[in-house]
Structure 1
């Protein structure tokens, strides 16, 4: 099957790595289902991928709500008939607190999107892919999912959970034709990271911030290129892989 016939669903498509990957896959000929909680940003990405000639739709969703997740999965199947690639990417950053100062509400907020959102996406997309006998899921974890980050204990835990969910599902569905991997970016120049400075001011806690050894923050397009490879036949022997793309941040 050529990429012109393949369908990709991307959550968090309204900005950052989600938008960059949407545009990259549009250039490769995928048909796209763009998912985001922010309707304005999602519609902007929709316009950008259509400029590339892609067939695409936008679906507004809160990835932490089961009904919303089922809706975007159903919309994908109803519109395009299948799901070949799922970039399970939506996520949020924790406000930086020392561990004992983390509000209960902050724990609930982070885990709802970063962990439950990934779980629900996998749960419903796997059912579609298993029926097809093929498909690729790429979850967005983080370098914080392989190495704890100072003042980001809950965020780190949520991303460690994504790594574990990825490996568990990959193990269970390895023989079905469904490949499930995760990407662990670190130091990416996105709006999410740019807004982190404001959250530092809000909490008054300054975390120990590390910088990529390569000397600069990644452009979201650099991450998108890795995602596109992981979605391609070139990565056909990869499942349960946790791919760190961090410019040497975790070294």
Structure 2
């Protein structure tokens, strides 16, 4: 079945509801018992499995795939939310598995939640209000972001990971299964469960798979040892990082991450 207000290539199941004002691009498929709100824009080639709901204002890019029962663009789970106009923006080529939930932003938190491109969010993952997720991340089953969390590119969250509100996870970090994170995690660092998660080295295997050569990885390892193994105060560790950063763009990025932090470092 096709809605006359959308391109001829759009396929909408007879049981689905697409509100007036929704914009669906070429090749969009809306499965059985879905709901698409009136302030929703969906890019070409995106598909929705059965029982998905999308509330607006929400903008979704091209070639995304939403499996059954995803709840996208719902109101933020924040008691301070008073009905103000807030939004969700999702990029291109993301995969959202069953029962993924993503909330819109809050007026006090910047007004929007943002998801980048080429991410995989597996079943039952949750992205709360005002979060920013980069590109090429993998969130395993039941991984959860509280409000205002920032996640860099190519981050992996293992199953049952919980990230506390306002934390930042740097690019290429790896958070191990069941870890609870209540501080900023620098780029490249691997965190393992021990009550609240604690750093346990760098994500060396992930960096190799992404084409980091041995010299780059060695510099990141030296930075990790200065920050986490040396036992020196954080100010002294920063000084050592600055020395290493002179010959490493990766370490420079790590140092910039530390310098811009508003929360305690996970250490």
Smaller-chain TM-score bracket: under 0.3
Higher-RCO chain (CA-CA 8 Å, sequence separation at least 6): 1
Query: Normalization by structure 2: what TM-score?
Result: 0.22
* Structure in which a larger fraction of residues adopt helix: 1
* Structure in which a larger fraction of residues adopt strand: 2
Query: Normalization by structure 1: what TM-score?
Result: 0.23
